Amino acid sequence: MPNRRLTPEEIVKARVLLDSIRAQLEELSAGDPDLLFAYRRKVYKELTYDERDKPMVRRQLKALKRGEQKGICPCCQNPLTEKYCVLDRFEAAKGYTPENTRLICQACDVASQVSKGYA
Ligand SMILES: [Zn+2]
């Protein structure tokens, strides 16, 4: 299923929200560029975790999927390498759950991103 897209009206609302967040970050940092950087990075990181879960949760899920798949990439049937494997969601909005993910190799991830038009 393709990811939900924002309508033009919703994009305008998102831009208003983003402008508001940027203004609040400027106000919080009171002209201190290092503080602005730190606040912006913190907000960015936390929003990323909302979308992708925290690194520890993802590591645990990867280990679970690796075990379930007996160390094999379900796309190409090659053994998964220890590093650079990717949790692939069947439906992005459903998040990183055992039911909604599979662990795939980097080459298959790139091919999947290209076929979905993301790369
Ligand atoms: Zn593969």
Residue 110 CA to ligand 1 center (angstroms) comes to 10
d(CA 49, CA 55): 8
Helix residue ranges per DSSP H, 1-119 = 8-29, 33-52, 55-68, 106-116
96 and 58 in contact (C-beta within 8 Å)?
yes
pLDDT of residue 92: 87
What are the chain's domains? 8-52 (no CATH), 55-116 (3.40.1800.10)
d(CA 66, CA 19): 41
pLDDT of residue 65: 97
Rounded to two decimals, the pTM is 0.74
Q: What is the pLDDT of residues 47-97, one digit of tens each?
A: 988 888 888 999 999 999 999 999 999 999 999 999 899 999 999 889 899
Residue 76 CA to ligand 1 center (angstroms) comes to 4
Mean pLDDT of 96-101: 94
Mean pLDDT of 97-110: 95
Which run of H or E residues covers position 104? strand 101-104
Q: What is the pLDDT of residues 14-31, one digit of tens each?
A: 999 999 999 999 999 999
Residue 73 CA to ligand 1 center (angstroms) comes to 5
